[in-house]
Amino acid sequence: MAQTVGEVLLDVLASHGVTHIFGIPGDSIDLLMGPLKKDKRIEFVQVRHEEAGAFMASAFAKKTGKLGVCMGTAGPGAIHLLNGLYDAMLDHAPVLAITGQVGFPYIGTSFFQEIDVLGLFKNVAAFNYQVSEANQIAVMADLACRQALSKRAVSHLSFPFEVPRMKVSEELSRYTVVDHSFDSVPTPDLLDEAAKRIVASQKPVILAGKGALSARQELVALAEKCAIPVVNTLPGKGVIPDEHPLALGGLGLLGAKPAHTAMEHCDLLLMVGTNYPYIEFLPKKAQLIQIDWEASQIGRRYRVDLGLVGSARPTLQALLERIAPRTPSPFVEKVQAERKDWLKSLADKAQKGGRPGAVSPEWVADRLSRLVEPDANIAIDVGNSLVWMSRNFRIRNQGWLVSAWLGSMGFGLPAAIAAKFAEPARQSVAVVGDGGFAMLMADFVTAVKYQKPVTVVLFNNHRLGMIKFEQGVHGLPEFGTDLFNPNFAAYADAAGGKGFLVTDPKDVETALSEALKSDVPTIVDIHTDPDEKPLPPRITLEQATGYAEARVRELLNI
């Protein structure tokens, strides 16, 4: 019996390992919902906003490396997907977006909910196609999946209303599944040259990004064998445990002092799996060796003395085989001593805990790192919550999910829900600010509906704290950053979860502990200090001057 377009589409998706589709039904995709209801291989996850569905697909792909899929109807449904799809595109997560379109007789007539969906997705999607002929579906759906997986990119398939129920010729419903996992290694002469330079250097440092997360074991082994300190980018946090003696912390405005010291004094920087954008934090005179699986990323922003195009794991393994062990140098001992002082200063500040009504956010991050399971998945929203987590959360083997390059608020909750669908046996925690959480808080109900006990740790300072701080640094008085918030703990209870309202530092640990053990979704609404500033590890004269000017302008109301 001939299959419909919708049935063949699901066959192709299942063959590529798809297990979930995140989305909202709509009239232009109703004919896809029928086959999806009958299919036992793929679970449809009904979200409350398509943006949340796209974030879930992106986070699912980041977490698993598999194809994430989201779906929205014609017009507004497709438009709502875009923010999450840009997150996937910029973070190189393989995602397929499925959208509806008005019926054939109405295309081009300015019909209800008709938009130029292919034009809309032109920039975000590496593969962008409208299926207009039934016998195209097997080839085009397979190609969309292949492109997303092989390029680590976004693909998009649009379906005019009538297409999903069209019949497909039996001989044209077949397709070939290929393995998209691949490893590439630089040529032996380049590896020999890289090893030679590393051995000759006196003060080498590793800068590891998200692309090194798949090679944690090899990276740590190289660092230990050669006594090389490791600095991580923000999305690369977790590539080495924070308690490891060679881990110096993050780089940049959210980074750590010992990481900056290492960058200033190193004579060789080995960059692994990162296209770090803030070149002002990179060394000015050191040799740079860059490892990346994508040739276009080599030397994209800065001078590179030696580029190695290859996958992180086999490339680092090949370097390990070429380099003899060595003992720590005085340079390593210096940055390790600074690391010890830095960690003590963070701990001392966190231990103060804050005061009633103004809990220290550093204290919250510190307590969470001690209470959460070693293999938990942590999804962090953009804002000051990311500052406190990047510095005060001592990562062990936890998963770390962020909207790294798009830097979109609202990512945390959907990402934590997606992580729970991807790995249901592991704890899943969303660490969010009040501003970011409120953007997509409706999807807390999604976690309740599907019985996914995620824990939301909410830093509630009643303002857009990072924006307020940025305004000050630019010499501007605060404006438009105060937030009027509901009782988020009461919202959790009303939605069918469980809420914890925390206003006193002494209650933080108990609330977090109970929430993490709960079998229903929880929100721990912690009223944090609104005046706690996300100060960079080193403050420039320009930043200090700008902030002082802003305070004067506020006092003078100008």
The amino acid sitting at 136 is Q
Bridge partners for 22 per DSSP: 45, 70
| pLDDT score of 180 | 66
Higher per-residue pLDDT: 475 or 454:
454
83-106 confidence digits (pLDDT tens): 999 999 999 999 999 999 999 999
| The model's pTM | 0.94
User: Binning pLDDT at 50, 70 and 90, where does residue 538 land?
Assistant: low
228-284 confidence digits (pLDDT tens): 999 999 999 999 999 999 999 999 888 899 999 999 999 999 999 999 999 999 999
Mean pLDDT in residue range 365-375: 97
Residues counted in the chain: 558
317-363 confidence digits (pLDDT tens): 999 999 999 999 999 999 999 999 999 999 998 999 999 999 999 99
| pLDDT score of 425 | 98
Judged by phi (left if over 0) then psi (alpha if -120 to 50, else beta), residue 83 lies in: alpha
Give the 3-state secondary structure of residue 455: strand
Which residue from 130, 372, 88, 383 is spatially nearest to 254, judged by alpha carbons?
383
393-430 confidence digits (pLDDT tens): 999 999 999 999 999 999 999 999 999 999 999 999 99
Look at 169-173, 376-380, 444-448 and tell me which has the smallest mean pLDDT. 169-173
Mean pLDDT in residue range 425-448: 98
Answer yes or no: is pLDDT of 14 > 60.
yes
φ, ψ at 429 (rounded to 5°): -125, 130
* Mean pLDDT taken over the chain: 93
Domains and CATH numbers, the chain: 5-172 (3.40.50.970), 188-337 (3.40.50.1220), 353-554 (3.40.50.970)
Tokens linked to 17: 């390992």
| pLDDT score of 547 | 43
Look at 172-176, 289-293, 470-474 and tell me which has the smallest mean pLDDT. 172-176
Contacting residues for 510 by C-beta, under 8 A, at least 6 apart: none
User: Binning pLDDT at 50, 70 and 90, where does residue 542 land?
Assistant: low
| pLDDT score of 181 | 67
